[in-house]
Chain A
Amino acid sequence: MEVSEPVLLILLSLAERPRHGYAILQDTESMSDGRVRLSTGTLYGALARLLEDKWIERFKEQDRSRGRQAYRLTDEGRRNLQMEVSRLKRLARLGTLRVAEKGT
């Protein structure tokens, strides 16, 4: 599965704790300093794909007064996210080195 930036932010949001749709939207926005502002359509497109691939699962909340559905990361999802973060770390390290190099 291709992990785009919005998907990565959604996963990071759920990595912290289970969240429902609107809370994910708020969290992704604050994590990216307001740069990534997902629409509801985009969010649910990503959630549907993540559910299908079993990266996330539905989570029964204590407070279901408003009929909101929360989601949480599965173990597989957490492993995949860990791999993705390692990949980004390597990329960032490489980026730091390459940018520091002077062109000949």
Chain B
Amino acid sequence: MLALYRSILYFYPAPYRAEYGDEMLEVLSEREAETRKKSALARAPSRAREASGLLYGALQEHLRRFRGAHDRGRFRFLFLGGRVAMRSEFRFPKATVGLMLVILAAVMFTIEKAKAISASIPHGNPPVGHILPSQLTILPTLLVALISAIGAGVIGWAILFALRRSGIQQLSEMNPSAGQRRGK
């Protein structure tokens, strides 16, 4: 049972574990000795409570570290900084560039391959029939162009917005908070 508790302790942030880990294990072993005196039926709930208490505690510690709650009260504004810093999913890892190059190469290769296949097939396609005047109207074309432009704009804006949130803002808000946390 203590081995299980010990493994749950690894879910705690390392500094916390270094500070309280041994003591907690000591208390847990005393609790376990107390639990062993109980009936087999009464043991399970008390062990479950200890295990879930540990898991919940680990979660709380991580959240506290994330929010920079060490400075609770005095540096309340850091709560916002902490939340912005959580948006790490918008950061591009270096591997993304490599992956994009691979995808680009694959697309180019596919296009070249398709060209080669189309060139190798004799021109057996039936000729295109007469184009009806109704298909030549310019309005639908303009409409499609307009919608495409809006779509591209929205996507571009979203990318820029994400980059701004993750890049500049994150840097400017994370550095002071990290500095203060280290300074503590």
Enumerate chain A interface residues (CB-CB to B < 8 A).
1, 21-22, 25, 37-45, 47-48, 52, 66-69
Contact = CB atoms under 8 A, between A and B. Distances in A.
A44 B57 contact: yes
Of B53, B56, B72, the most chain A CB neighbours within 10 A belong to B53
27 contacts: A1-B72, A21-B23, A21-B24, A22-B26, A25-B31, A38-B53, A39-B49, A39-B53, A39-B57, A40-B24, A40-B27, A40-B28, A41-B24, A41-B50, A41-B53, A41-B54, A41-B55, A41-B56, A41-B57, A42-B57, A44-B20, A44-B24, A45-B57, A48-B16, A48-B19, A67-B22, A68-B26
A22 B19 CA distance: 17
Contacts of A45: 57, 60-61
Contacts of A68: 23, 26
The secondary structure that dominates the A interface is helix
Interface string B153-172: 00000000000000000000
Interface SS of B by simple majority = helix
Interface residues of B, number: 25
A65 B75 CA distance: 41
A74 to B, nearest CB: 17
Given A22-B31, A48-B20, A52-B70, A42 B53 contact: yes
Interface string B14-44: 0010011011101110110000000000000
Contacts of A48: 16, 19-20, 61
Interface of B: 16, 19-20, 22-24, 26-28, 30-31, 49-50, 52-58, 60-61, 70, 72-73
B23 A44 contact: yes
A41 B56 CA distance: 7
Contacts of B19: 48
Contacts of B30: 22
B22 A40 contact: no
